[in-house]
Amino acid sequence: MSHPSVVTLDKKSAPRTLFAGDMLVEVDLPPGTRCIYPKPPLASLKDPDAAIRYALNHPLNSEPLHAKLRPGMKVVIAIDDISLPLPPMRRPDVRERVLTIVLEMLSDHGVEDVEMIIATAVHRRMTAAEIKHAVGDKIFNAYYPDRLKNHDAEDPHGMKYVGTTEEGEIVELNKTAVESDLLIYVNLNLVPMDGGHKSVAVGLCGYKSLRAHHNPRVMRACHSYMDPTPKTSALAASVERQGRLTNKALNVFTIETTINNRMFDRPLEFLHKNEDDLTGFERTAMKALVRTLERVPQAARQAIFERVPAPYGMTGVFAGETEAVHKATLEKCFEQYAVPVKGQADVVVSGIPYISPYNVNSFLNPLLVQVMAEGYLFNMYRGQPLIKKGGTLIITHPCTDKFDKEHHAPYIEFVHNLLPETRDALELHKRYEEKFATNPAYIQMYRTGHAYHPAHPFYMWYWGEAGRQWLGQVIVVGADNEYIPKILGYKTARTMAEALSMAREKHGPSPEITCLRIPPIVIADVS
């Protein structure tokens, strides 16, 4: 089995260029190393607005949106938050396109009582500027802040009990959404674990509902977050139960969109490519970028990547009943991301980029480095993990001991006070989670500032739990300190050659090595 996105290095192969936070590093990998690259971007829809209108009028397993509307009804529109997509996309954002057409349809049918909620769950509140970027100037000016606002999971008067599943999972959601006549969810699907029942049942919930599945026991029972079916993911199974209960109680109309993986625009388009396929000009530009990033301060490095929004193109839009819609979405998602791969590897090498779902417009702190490595990177597979049980994951990142004090205040205490005491997720869950989650000062920062909820750092640690249970060791190349890797449980190496030497001590002189070359996103279909 071969695929154009899977290449094997030989003696003449160029060095691979990997992200190391907001730096790029060139590494030599031995001949025989298998490199997995993202697929080329799928073609964008030629007329996205026409596709949106078609989806609303020809929904899946549901009557058309216009048939659900009547004058005088109360409609709530919930939309995905800033964690999607990564990085933020060039305007108009997909959400703006969908909202514009949905709001026109509501107006045409005499629906005037409309509110919009950013489905943040326990993520940080979006700023006004971030909301404007997502929904566009016209909608922002007409609705913000009175009828366009962030979800508040800690508002004592803003949440409403919906029910309890047969497994005892509490469903408590945003009261405004629960009491609406129609709840429309506008999703922007970046990876397969987004969307579906997760949109409403998680995006509009609070701590009581999240406790059912955001815990170490459930995360250990997930066999790929990117294969979100109940048979492979205890997380997906729990969310599905909550979602089905929600959809029985509420009138939900789901709209999901998919995008291609065109993450980098000019002048950084060459970052998509196999290093051996670069033109002479692109090779020079790549080396110039690597050298520039080495010389400029961190803030300037981050600005280089944030200055150009991603030119993502919409590849699909589906509307109607939640599960039917999400099935179509997943097919489109895997069409973009899935690359067939034969066999597991002893050693997987990958760079950790500068951005994750939880640090848009802030720094990728050490806890999020862990999430990217043992959470997202490890789980970029279907079938079976890309790495063998007990294998070695080698990452490139400085692991700088730096946090955004506004966005990630609870993270600082978690990393510096709790992790030195124990890395055992079950112990952290039992002894500290509820104490953190009810801390009045942290709750205030979440509700009135732009801080993540104090339960969130625990969830970030649990997110790495499946990877921690599977991997034999994680080696970080290029750390600028020994302290952070040590409390994360990582070994350190000064160079890639040293890291590979350490891996050979564990796996023998000729380990099977695979380089997962991200970003953009790629998911290994491992057989």
pLDDT at residue 1, as a whole number: 56
Q: What is the largest CA-CA distance in the chain?
A: 73
Token code pair at residue 427: 């112990």
Alpha-carbon 141 to chain mean position: 29
To 10 degrees, the CA torsion angle through 360, 362, 367, 372? 40
Best CA proximity match to 99, nearest among 290, 294, 257: 257
- Residue 203 backbone dihedrals phi, psi, to 5 degrees: -60, -30
Q: Compute CA distances 281 → 270, 285, 349, 484, 518, whole Å.
A: 10, 6, 27, 38, 22
Name the H helices within 480-523.
483-488, 496-507
Token code pair at residue 24: 């790029």
C-beta atoms surrounding 23 within 10 Å? 18
- Residue 227 backbone dihedrals phi, psi, to 5 degrees: -125, 70
Read out DSSP for 175-186? HHHHTSSEEEEE
Q: Which residues, other chains included, contact 444 with Cβ-Cβ below 8 Å and sequence gap of 6+? A: none
Amino acid identity at 396: T
Let me know how many helices (H) and strands (E) the chain has, helices first: 21, 20
How far apart (Å, rounded) are the C-alpha atoms in residues 198 and 405?
29
Do residues 221 and 227 touch, judged by C-beta distance below 8 A?
A: no
Burial of 158 (C-beta count, 10 Å sphere; 0-12/13-18/19+): middle
Q: Which residues of the chain have pLDDT under 50?
A: none
Give the helix/strand (H/E) hosting 27: strand 23-27
Best CA proximity match to 406, nearest among 444, 353, 433: 444
How far apart (Å, rounded) are the C-alpha atoms in residues 280 and 382?
36
pLDDT at residue 227, as a whole number: 87
Token code pair at residue 394: 């080698």
Q: What share of the chain is helix, strand, coil (3-state, %, to 5)?
A: 40, 20, 40
Amino acid identity at 501: S
How far apart (Å, rounded) are the C-alpha atoms in residues 127 and 149?
10
Burial of 420 (C-beta count, 10 Å sphere; 0-12/13-18/19+): exposed
